Amino acid sequence: MTQGIKDKIVVVTGASSGLGEATARLLSAQGATVVLGAARGPSASAGEDLESRAGKALTLTTDVRLREQVKALVDSAVQTYGRIDVMINNAGLMPQAPLERLKVDEWDRMIDVNIKGVLYGIAAALPHMQRQKAGHFINVSSVAGHRVGPGFAVYAATKYAVRALSEGLRQEVKPYNIRTTVISPGAVATELPDSVTDPDASKRIRTFYEQVAVPADSFARAVAFAMSQPEDVDINEILYRPTRQEL
Ligand SMILES: NC(=O)c1ccc[n+]([C@@H]2O[C@H](COP(=O)([O-])OP(=O)(O)OC[C@H]3O[C@@H](n4cnc5c(N)ncnc54)[C@H](OP(=O)(O)O)[C@@H]3O)[C@@H](O)[C@H]2O)c1
Nearest to 118 by CA among 197, 56, 181, 27: 181
61: pLDDT strictly greater than 60:
yes
Segment 202-228 shows an average pLDDT of: 97
Measured distance between the N- and C-terminal CA atoms of the chain, rounded to whole angstroms = 32
pLDDT at 121: 99
pLDDT at 1: 61
Rounded Cα distance, 59 and 48, in Å:
7
Rounded Cα distance, 46 and 22, in Å:
9
Catalytic, 160? Answer no
Alpha carbon of residue 118 to chain centroid: 8
Rounded Cα distance, 159 and 12, in Å:
18
pTM to 2 decimal places: 0.97
Would you say the CB of residue 18 lies under 6 angstroms from ligand 1? yes
Residue whose Cα lies nearest atom 32 of ligand 1: it is 63
Would you say the CB of residue 122 lies under 6 angstroms from ligand 1? no
Is residue 29 within 8 A of residue 50, CB to CB? The reply is no
The neighbouring-strand residues paired with 138 are 88, 181
52: pLDDT strictly greater than 70:
no
Which of the residues 120, 155, 160, 176 is marked catalytic? Answer: 155
pLDDT at 174: 95
* Distance of CA 140 from the midpoint of ligand 1 (Å): 10
45: pLDDT strictly greater than 80:
no
Q: Binning pLDDT at 50, 70 and 90, where does residue 16 land?
A: very high
Question: Dihedral (C-alpha) 18, 223, 188, 74: value to the nearest 10 degrees?
Answer: 30
* Distance of CA 29 from the midpoint of ligand 1 (Å): 22
Q: Binning pLDDT at 50, 70 and 90, where does residue 51 land?
A: low
- What is the chain's mean pLDDT, rounded? 95
Segment 70-97 shows an average pLDDT of: 98
Nearest to 147 by CA among 99, 105, 186: 186
Q: Binning pLDDT at 50, 70 and 90, where does residue 41 land?
A: confident
